[in-house]
Every structure is written in C-alpha cells, then in structure tokens.
Structure 1
Amino acid sequence: FGYEGRIPLHRATLFYDVSEKARKIIESYFMLNSTLYFSYTHLVCRTAIEGQQDNRNDLSHPIHADNCLLDPDASECWKEPPAYTYRDYSAILYLNGDFDGGEFIFTEIDAKTITAAVKPECGRLVGFSSGEENPHGVKAVTKGQRCAVALWFTLDPLFREL
C-alpha cells in the first residue's frame, strides 16, 4: 500500500475524499444545522483467528458507546473521562466484502439484547449518534479479513482533527 513509511499522494487524497464524502452524508442524513467536524479517523482491519469457527458467538470488538463509559449492569453510560465525551456522531465505511462474520451489531444498554445487525458490504456506510442510545460492537470475523474506515465526528470545533 505505502512504501518506506509513506503513502502515495493519490491514495492519501482518495482517503481524504472518501472520508469527506462520508462526513457530508452523515451531516445530511441527520439534518444537522451546524458543521460536523472530524474528531478521529482510522483504518481498522479485523482478521479471523486460526482454528474452529463453528458456533462462535464472541466479539472482535466489545459492546460500547463512543462518547460515554457503558455500564450495562447499572443501565448507565457515564459521560466522563476517559470517554471521548465530545464525539457526537460515528460512522463505519466498509472497504471489502470478501470475508465471513464481522457483523456490526447494536444492542440495548444491557449490552446483550441485540436490536440490529448490519452485514458488512464493500462501500456500505453505517452512521449513528455516538451516545448511550447506540451501544454497539463487532461480531467475530470467521474467515478472511474485514477492513473499514472508522470515523468519529464532533459538533465542537475545539475537538476537530487537525
């Protein structure tokens, strides 16, 4: 992908352009009247572990909320450090589809009751508000590698990515 620790400019430009398009889609979808700023963006790949895959129900990323500390036993999400309390919206953009498993799931605040599951597909963008109303996680990848761009947004310009 890169070479000698550098990424070719055309690939960096593509990453920026796709991220900016995702930001505009989230801003439009949620009918925001103020600017949505990037808070943090990164590429994340999850790979299937070796061995038996039948009947796996573990998570490759545990249930959490993006701007508060989820406490399922107390049915609370504490909006305090070390949580990223300034995050207002989150998104995942899937970059491939040649893998099994890796579904993105939403749960109740109990972190157990699944309310929705999203099958990853290349080019699919999933956006949601970052708070306690959207606890989420990722089911285990059972074959291949799942890659996505994870994006977090803020309405507060003081916390924008620079």
Structure 2
Amino acid sequence: MKTKEQNIRKRKTDSPTKEKSNVTEPATKDPQKKTKSGINFPDLGKATRSTTHRVWTRSVMIISVMTVVYFYTKDTKEIKFAPQKETIPLRMQKVPCSAKYLAEMKEYPKCVPATCGRFVSDSLITKGESQILLNLVKEVIKHGGSSGGASILDLHSGALSQGEKFINVYSLPQTKEAFKKETLITYRMVKSKIKAAIAQRFDIDADSLHLTHPTFFSRITNATAKTMHDEYWHPHVDKETYESFHYTSLLYLNDYKKDFNGGRFLFIDGIDKNKTISAVEPKMGRVSAFTSGSENLHNVEKVTDGTRFAITISFTCNSKFAITDPKLSVD
C-alpha cells in the first residue's frame, strides 16, 4: 500500500508540464513605421521604391537628352561672326585658299589674295547711301516681283523678276522716275568703295578687279518657292555657280530682327562632325566680302517673315568677264 507521501509524489510526477509553444509571437512593430496615430502602412516601402524608380527614370532621360544636345553642338559649332546689334568697323576671318581657287588665281598675279577668307565692315557705306538704294529697289520691284519669294533687279542687264519669269525693267515706262541721277551716282560710288575695300583687305591691285555679272539687288520674302531661282537657301560655292566670280560682296539694305526674321548669311567651315558656322546678321549699311572659292561655302537661311533687301556685287580678275555700269540719264 502506498503511503500518503508516495501518492503526493506520484501526482506531482503525473501533472502535465507546460510545453514550449511552436507558435512564434508576433514581432513588435517597428515604431518608426508608424504614424503619430499609431497606424502601420505595410505598403509604404513599395510606394517609396516606386517614387525612387520614377526619379531614376527621369534622371536617365534628362541625361540622355543632354548628351545628344552636347554631341550635336560639339559637332556643329556656331559663331556669331557679325551680330546685328554690334557696330563693326572691320572684322576679318582668314581661311586657307582652296587648291582649285589658288591654281586659277595664279593666272592673274596681281589679283592673288595675300590670304583667303572673309571680312565684315559697318563703316564703308553710310546709312544715307543705303537708304537711297533701298528706296530704288522698293520703287522698281513693286512693278514686278517673283511669285516665289526671291526677286531680283539687275541694273546692268535690265533683268527684273515678274511672276515666274524675267522682264526688261527699262521697257517699263513707270520705272523711269526711279532712276534719278542722284540714285545712280550713289550706286556707282557704293560699288567703287566696296571694290577698294576688297583690294585693300586682300592685298591685291584694285585695277585688276572688274565688276562682273550677276551684280543685282535682291528682295526675299517667306513666299513658297515656285522655280529654282527662288531656292536661295542651298549651300553653294560662288565660283562653282558663276565661272567669272573671284571676289563676292554683299551690301545689306535693312535689318535682321527688325525688318525680317531668318535670312542670316552663314559661312560653313569644316565637314561632317567638325563643322563651324560663322553667322553674319544683316544690318543696314553692312558690307560682307569674301574670296569666291570653295574655302567660302555658304548659304542664306530661309526668311521666315518680313522682307530682306540686299545687293550682291561681284568681281572678277578676268577682264573678258567685265561688265560696265548702266548708262542712263547720268550720262
């Protein structure tokens, strides 16, 4: 018989002991992930990751665009050779003569430039002289004018744009009043000044230079081109377009950004990924002159609005291509 003490021990031995639970207690919530109200936002991490992704995506896009712009501007650099707002007594860019141009110029020893290139001057022609010539071209071209936006008036040949063809300006009775003695004297004086400046800047004999065809006034608007004569904006070399040209000059008769937009004159140096554009912004009375070989590839930007007026005055060293001044009431 078991004693009382043995029974007590047996009950203690048989009593179920508490087993360790396999269930893990919920972890204490990170207090940093709670708002002040104590509410936990389990998706906050996802939202943060989404925002970070958008920031990175936008950053990559911006960097990509900046990279494209950088390499584009690196490949084609633009220099404001002659800004409209500046008054330039004289500015010159020297460039090596093209081999073909130099080979031809050796036929005219007194006409070989000391260096090829281009120059701009705002001190050769006065605004008064420019205004007289501007009045002339406006008065005459209104009796003609190209339907394609680029009109010319050639006082030497008499050619005047009219529609999609050319007519003889001296056959129009209504234009006779425009050819006043003062106007034609001014025209001759302007050409003589520019000729002397070219001879001086390129260090050649002025007597070896001769006016050549075509020398003409131009009026350009933004009208749609109708014929090939209206497509003035293509890059070109004057010597390849006109056999007689050796030196080219332009006199601008009104102002870029005031009277018209677009229409800048662009010299193109270099090729492919190493191009440099030297921009001349037209200004009333401004003269731009250059050697006519392939060292001076150039074009005129399309005029986007307004009307651009200028005179192209061309010179040759070959006397057989020389032209004379128009003989009108002055003589």
Q: TM-score scaled by structure 2?
A: 0.39
Instruction: Give the equivalent residue in structure 2 for 1:67.
Output: 239
Alignment of 1:151-162 (within 5 A): 151-162=313-324
Instruction: Give the equivalent residue in structure 1 for 2:250.
Output: 92
Larger helix proportion of the pair: 2
1:27 to 187, 191, 199: 199
**Deviation sequence 1:105-133 (CA, Å, 0-9, x none):** 01147599443111111111000000111
Instruction: Give the equivalent residue in structure 2 for 1:5.
Output: 175
**Deviation sequence 1:120-159 (CA, Å, 0-9, x none):** 1111100000011111110011221111010110111111
Q: Considering only aligned residues, what root-mean-square deviation do their CA atoms show, in Å?
A: 2.3
Higher relative contact order (CA 8 A, sep 6+): 1
Instruction: Give the equivalent residue in structure 2 for 1:103.
Output: 264
Using the TM superposition, give the Cα deviation of residue 23 of structure 1 relative to its aligned residue in structure 2, in angstroms. 1.2
Structure 1 residue ranges (4+ consecutive) displaced by more than 2 angstroms after TM superposition:
83-86, 108-115
Instruction: Give the equivalent residue in structure 1 for 2:222.
Output: 48
Contact 2:270–2:276 (CA under 8 A) maintained in structure 1: no
SS of equivalent residue, structure 1 residue 48: coil
Distance 1:48 1:92, change over 3 A: same
Instruction: Give the equivalent residue in structure 2 for 1:133.
Output: 295
Counterparts of 2:242 and 2:305 in 1: how far apart (Å)?
32
Instruction: Give the equivalent residue in structure 2 for 1:123.
Output: 285
Distance 1:157 1:134, change over 3 A: same
Whether 1:37 aligns to 2:210 is yes
Contact 1:60–1:141 (CA under 8 A) maintained in structure 2: no
Q: Give the count of matched residue pairs.
A: 140
Contact 1:63–1:111 (CA under 8 A) maintained in structure 2: no
Whether 1:147 aligns to 2:309 is yes
Counterparts of 2:314 and 2:270 in 1: how far apart (Å)?
20
Q: TM-score scaled by structure 1?
A: 0.77
Counterparts of 1:111 and 1:91 in 2: how far apart (Å)?
27
Counterparts of 2:174 and 2:271 in 1: how far apart (Å)?
46
Please tell me whether Structure 1 or Structure 2 has the larger radius of gyration of its CA atoms. 2
Unpaired stretches in structure 2, ≥5 consecutive residues = 1-138, 141-172, 225-230, 325-331
Larger strand proportion of the pair: 1
Using the TM superposition, give the Cα deviation of residue 49 of structure 1 relative to its aligned residue in structure 2, in angstroms. 3.4
Counterparts of 2:303 and 2:175 in 1: how far apart (Å)?
28
1:36 alignment partner AA: L
